[in-house]
Amino acid sequence: MTPLWRLIVDGPVDGALNMALDRAAQLCREDGSAPPTLRLYRWARPTVTLGRFQTDDAVDSGACARHGVDVAHRSTGGRGVLHDDEVTYSVVASVSDGMPRGVTASYRLLSGALALAYRKLGIGAELTHHDRVSAPSQACYLATTRADLSLGALKLSGSAQVWKGETVLQHGSFTRSRDVAREAEVFRLDAEESRMLAQHTATMSGVLDSVPSITDIEAAVAEAFAEALAITLAPGDWSPSEARLAAELLRQAG
């Protein structure tokens, strides 16, 4: 029998709640009260998520207000990401679920599933082979790491990760389109950094003749994870304990 994982597909949700739900799933998996989970979700409004070591001054608050961009904090590391026209995924699983111990090995396994999802959508994504920092900016998409997926020299998507005991949380984006001018304002990019953001990144709308629908992306990601991880995904929902914990995490975040 293949291992059974839960699949949660959420509609557009507030950014802070999205991050609290991801963290609650990880904490509940670690204490054994929740199953391993693949979650696919969206955003009620454009939202910057800041890595756990970033502060609010990583973004221009005035630009965020002008563009209607929310700001939320992640439990995972990395630089800031502006989420909007995308499908976001999160994976929560423990070593007992077959997740390799440690950042490098787990990234490699999960990135294989992500690359397969892109291929199902008609994009020949590959795991990035070398780290590259294009600018000292707070924006994630101006740097590439070996946890990212690329199309040739172009960065397609990045992922962020955190471990709690024996359990990993990894999340990242399948980006349909990007508003470079807005992102540049939000992260205070200068002209050269804006040019690099436009020229060194790729989106589905930029490489495909027809942009996949949200539903098509969700289906491809679910199929790819089931195939690459040799698991069975069963549709599920949040448990009462996860919902309560997410609410408590939101209160603590203020």
Active site residues: 140
The one-letter amino acid at 212: P
The angle at the Cα of 172, spanning 174 to 94, to the nearest 5 degrees, equals 130
Backbone φ and ψ for 40, nearest 5 degrees, come out as: -120, 130
The angle at the Cα of 109, spanning 172 to 243, to the nearest 5 degrees, equals 45
Read off the DSSP letter of residue 80. B
Q: Which of 165, 170, 52 is nearest to 109 (CA)?
A: 170
Q: Which of 5, 10, 9, 41 is nearest to 233 (CA)?
A: 5
Q: How far is CA 239 from CA 21, 24, 147, in A?
A: 11, 10, 30
Q: How many angstroms from the chain centroid is the CA of residue 118? A: 14
Residues 6+ apart with CB under 8 A from 238: 8, 21, 246
